[in-house]
Amino acid sequence: MTDADCELTGDTVTRAIGRAWTDDSAWELLTALTELPNRMGGSPGERRAAELVSESFTDAGLDDPRIDEFDMQYWERGTSELTVETDSLSRQFETIALPYSPAGDVEGQLVDVGYGTPAEIDAVDLEGAIAVASTTTPADQRFVHRMEKYGHAVDAGAAAFVFVNHVSGQLPPTGSLRFNEEEEIPAVGVSAESGDWLSEYASRAEDVRAHLHVDARTSDGTSQNVHATIGPDTDDMVLVLAHYDAHDIGEGALDNGCGIATVAGAANILAEIEEVLESQVRIAGVGCEEIGLLGAEALADEIDPDSIRAVVNVDGAGRFRDLQVFSHASDELEELAASVAGGAGQPVVHEPDPHPFSDHWPFLQAGVPSVQLHSEPPKGSDRGRGWGHTSADTRDKVDPRNLREHAILAALLVWELTRTDVASIAVDNLRERLVEQDYEPGMRAAGIWPVGWE
């Protein structure tokens, strides 16, 4: 590239970034999405959300926007109740059924399994009991996901599962159970305040009985992915994706309205710098992340993994000020993200270890280098997702400045990936990293350990 070419490229990118500071497209998409009744996977609201995402891609000037359907199992929430009885009283506690919980009525003793780690579950007798587990994990351990805790409780013979928000004042939490499978035991979320009482009643053991009722149903349904492209027609591509679905109990502003809105903002920038992109960029809004990464799996089935230079999964970006980058065992992606953020004078928090709990996973397990753009809450915040997965996940929690900044950083990273070769991930090394982090038992319990990974 000549000096004149470099100057032209720099001017093109600089102008696009300058205009991004006054671009309201991310906020407008977020507002439209959070106005919908709900965006639960397979629902009419999710279908309307896909249309809004497609319209945002068209407005950005992306090529060939389209919506592709895929089959899924549609879970619909009914009522749920948790009643605790002693010889002298009967109390009801507010609950929210966890998606893919079956309907059922269970009566049994409450057993407090603390954080719900494998060691804690192994230390108690859960046969026929109602397991009560926290949403958090001790800070000195790697995070144990809800699906792992549930799977371990099922394997230990529990008759039901209660998931307790560990943050006071932040309502009952929701979250899917395993990945689109029909489950064996009912499960609900409760607030920290209710969880305190459940722990108290669990300590009284034989003097207390609990009754859990869950009404829900699962039926055949469809969801959809939204696609568009930008850049030259090359044999390879950078894949940018974010899920636009959300749990039905809230607006889904933080999870993941912010992520898909960030992608919309980045799409506007990429359209303005199309002439300097050196490979095609495919941008996708995927459905059904919250109930099992179903949209990402459908997309992965469609695309040859060898044609993907890298995946940029925007799940959690835009929520808080500091960008957090999960490089998923790729040193090259970590260095590239650090260079992009440093060149823009923006802070970035690095997390090099891989995890399987977002839309990058169907691609990463096939060896595609993958980065997840998240965002870090202020230092000193309690560990956990906070308002996410509760009815308090609403638009008022979002700062439009974060959407703009993270859209700029995402676009710059994608631009660099169109002209930077990143090595594939050795699947054996990925497996070893997950084993070292003690993921294998939990992923097996959750039913997500890849077939063939013996």
Least confident range from 117-121, 174-178, 339-343: namely 174-178
pLDDT higher than threshold 80 for residue 328: yes
229-262 burial: b if 16+ Cβ within 10 Å, else e: bbbeeeeebbbbbbbbbbbbbbbbbbbbbbbbbb
- pLDDT band of 277, cuts 50, 70, 90: very high
Provide the 3-class DSSP secondary structure of residue 234: coil
Residue 102: what pLDDT? Answer: 94
- pLDDT band of 180, cuts 50, 70, 90: very low
Residue 8: what pLDDT? Answer: 53
pLDDT higher than threshold 90 for residue 26: yes
pLDDT higher than threshold 90 for residue 127: yes
Counting beta carbons within 10 angstroms of the beta carbon of residue 180, is it exposed (0 to 12), middle (13 to 18) or buried (19 or more)? Answer: buried
pLDDT higher than threshold 90 for residue 200: yes
Measured distance CA(119)–CA(78) in Å, rounded: 33
Residue 182: what pLDDT? Answer: 55
Residue 379: what pLDDT? Answer: 66
Q: Where in the chain is the domain with CATH 3.40.630.10?
A: 3-73+220-436
Measured distance CA(223)–CA(288) in Å, rounded: 7
Measured distance CA(111)–CA(217) in Å, rounded: 27
Among 223, 310, 436, 435, smallest CA distance to 450 is for 435
Q: What confidence tens digit (pLDDT) does each residue in 94-116 have?
A: 999 999 999 999 999 999 999 99
Residue 380: what pLDDT? Answer: 56
Residue 198: what pLDDT? Answer: 98
Residue 404: what pLDDT? Answer: 97
pLDDT higher than threshold 50 for residue 252: yes
pLDDT higher than threshold 60 for residue 189: yes
Q: Quick one: what percent of the chain has pLDDT higher than 90?
A: 89
pLDDT higher than threshold 90 for residue 385: no
- pLDDT band of 6, cuts 50, 70, 90: low
- pLDDT band of 124, cuts 50, 70, 90: very high
pLDDT higher than threshold 90 for residue 420: yes
Whole-prediction pTM value? Answer: 0.94
CATH of domain 3-73+220-436: 3.40.630.10
Measured distance CA(175)–CA(133) in Å, rounded: 14
pLDDT higher than threshold 70 for residue 383: no
Measured distance CA(212)–CA(107) in Å, rounded: 6
What tokens appear for 174 in the block?
Answer: 């929701």
- pLDDT band of 4, cuts 50, 70, 90: very low
Q: Where in the chain is the domain with CATH 3.50.30.30?
A: 77-218
To the question of domain 77-218 being in CATH 3.10.150.10, the answer is: no
Contacts of 341 (CB under 8 A, 6+ apart): 323, 325, 347, 348, 409
Residue 169: what pLDDT? Answer: 86
Least confident range from 40-44, 66-70, 126-130, 179-183: namely 179-183
Over residues 351-374, the mean pLDDT reads 97
3-state secondary structure 20-81: HCCCCHHHHHHHHHHCCCCCCCCCHHHHHHHHHHHHHHHHHCCEEEEEEEEEEEEEEEEEEE
Instruction: Write down the mean pLDDT value for the chain.
Output: 94
